[in-house]
Structure 1
């Protein structure tokens, strides 16, 4: 089994994974394991192992290249191993195997571009936890820190190419809703619900109790109650990606989405949850920081219109879903502070941003 250490020892390197292990030991382990998966392969070598920097807090994710001989020629394939977190959990629901199945479903549907899921191993013996391997895809990511609208490659991209990127990104977001809910029954969450919409609401009720067991986040809880009392009339069926934002899309050299990534918290909770999260996330990268939207990147209204056109679903009551996304983000903020073992920022009160949004 590979040696595993806490992320706190690796913060200076830019690695933020929940665990960090000896990559030389991992290379040897993966080479032997791949030999069983690829019986025709000879002399398998694992090289170029690395953690993606500045991302990956929820899962340990390691990039690598596999080299081998087969049929008299040398083969090479970029791969990624994603390992189930066993501690330092960002989320309380275990959806590890479900994310692999969902990636398979999305790829098979032909609607959504995802990295090819290759193998899943539920046995924790090799790496200390279940894991899966998928293909490695080349591209760039619009990072959140620093904000991608303020600095980085997206700022340097010409407006016409940004427009192409934005259009394809929102189209891919909407294309998720072309995959039938009936094909994803494996995403059902524990409990009995009169409709799938309630699965997502219940998940975040449980999450709030998990991150705030003593009920200290009174303002945030009040905001959640206000959201429940204002339940939207428009609750279209649909899959929930879970972390729907530009930063979770790999962008290719053609300024189109190469793959949609990070499916660790999906559900059947309804199509508009992802659109609400996307709009809320985009606002945190621009408006709330006083940063103007980059030329070529669509406005809120344009995003809603394009998403509705491609998905074929109404975005009525989207304000409620944006507010619910803000509630989720504030819950996650509590958890991230706890994981980093840091005090809450002076003057920060969980729920204040949500309250301000609801009181507009």
Structure 2
């Protein structure tokens, strides 16, 4: 679901044309093609695509570019993570991970009303969230063996993120010691610190029960600290055929146990199948096979997955409450609408809680414990 249109495409094109011409005294004769928004773009970030031509040092250059604009009016996430995100993307460009190359970044809001960065555009296909890739699209059109290759390529890319040495790449700035020691407890406290921003309803007893459970089951975290992609899912991967060529959307990056990413990867796929009442695509490896492959790639056993799977389900439920609020504020949905995304996320959270132990706190069960309905 893309961010609602926030700018005039012709004015944006003129602003970017002028801005690109200021990058160097050697750059001139800048021409930009139409500025478009990718249909796969998520609600948390504004992406602009265009082709650019310019003369640099007497040589005519042409390149497909992507601009990511810092969120302003439609903020799904509470923290201003922009500077850290730009810094991280630049660091990752030297690690061998398939991330888009950052060409330039603009720290001011002078040109587009917010900071932005310009990256090389990576050609390929992205599994769509809406409609779910389990229902239709290029992934559904592949034979089962190729679907498995797509999924496993994502698992391998995720494991490559987790094999990075946080100190060696200089990613320690992602730590948030104000929320406690690096680990599961820090991630939970950092997230719940912003519950008022997300706006989950007081009568959502499923979310309340999940938070009680999480606070009672925080792991000791004896494992290593890893770089966390944050929004790790195949819907944030550009594929060339079945091969990942770009890992996108690092605005939720953090430090902590790598299992938090693995659980998110599993849960987001589950939401787009079971969570919306859609059959999961044949050929996609299941949970056990996925975990085993990840363990083989990172060289250790997964720890505390039940906690991280409940945490993933809880976070997604809370984030969808924020998305529902933004849709109401933007006029896309009437305020108070029963939004299927949030309703289904809450129902799947209830299921995950039931699978992992006592799900209901003293607050009891409420109407939020419905089963998922087709979106």
Alignment TM-score > 0.5, same fold: yes
Partner of 2:55: 69
Q: Distance in 1 between matches of 2:286 and 2:266?
A: 9
Aligned residue among 66, 73, 98 for 1:87: 73
Compute the displacement of 1:50 (Å): 0.2
Aligned residue among 101, 120, 124 for 2:109: 124
Partner of 2:368: none
What is the number of residues matched between the two proteins?
A: 344
Q: Distance in 2 between matches of 1:159 and 1:118?
A: 37
Compute the displacement of 1:349 (Å): 9.4
Matched, 1:238 2:226: yes
Report the more deviating stretch, 323-332 or 226-235. 226-235
Aligned residue among 146, 149, 159 for 1:164: 149
Structure 1 residues 26 and 165: CA distance shift in structure 2, 3 A: same
Aligned residue among 52, 67, 73 for 2:38: 52
| Unmatched 5+ stretches in structure 1 | 1-14
Structure 1 residues 63 and 121: CA distance shift in structure 2, 3 A: same
Aligned residue among 6, 10, 25 for 1:24: 10
Superposed CA RMSD in Å reads: 2.3
Matched, 1:217 2:210: no
Structure 1 residues 43 and 349: CA distance shift in structure 2, 3 A: closer
- State the Cα deviation string for residues 318-350 of structure 1 (Å, max 9, x = none): 121111100001101111110111424289598
Q: Distance in 2 between matches of 1:296 and 1:217?
A: 35
Structure 1 residues 74 and 157: CA distance shift in structure 2, 3 A: same
**Partner secondary structure for residue 194 of structure 2:** helix
Report the more deviating stretch, 329-338 or 211-220. 211-220
| Unmatched 5+ stretches in structure 2 | 329-334, 356-375
Question: What TM-score comes out, normalization by structure 2 length?
Answer: 0.85
Aligned residue among 214, 217, 223 for 1:227: 214
Partner of 2:354: 359
Report the more deviating stretch, 217-226 or 95-104. 217-226
Q: Distance in 2 between matches of 1:269 and 1:80?
A: 30
Q: Distance in 2 between matches of 1:147 and 1:73?
A: 44
Partner of 2:282: 295
Compute the displacement of 1:235 (Å): 5.4
Question: What TM-score comes out, normalization by structure 1 length?
Answer: 0.88
**Is the CA contact 1:217–1:350 (under 8 Å) kept in the aligned structure 2?**
no
- State the Cα deviation string for residues 36-80 of structure 1 (Å, max 9, x = none): 224323301111310112523112210111112345553211111
Q: Distance in 1 between matches of 2:352 and 2:179?
A: 31
Matched, 1:136 2:121: yes
Aligned residue among 92, 95, 98 for 1:106: 92
Structure 1 residues 149 and 349: CA distance shift in structure 2, 3 A: closer
Structure 1 residues 190 and 84: CA distance shift in structure 2, 3 A: farther
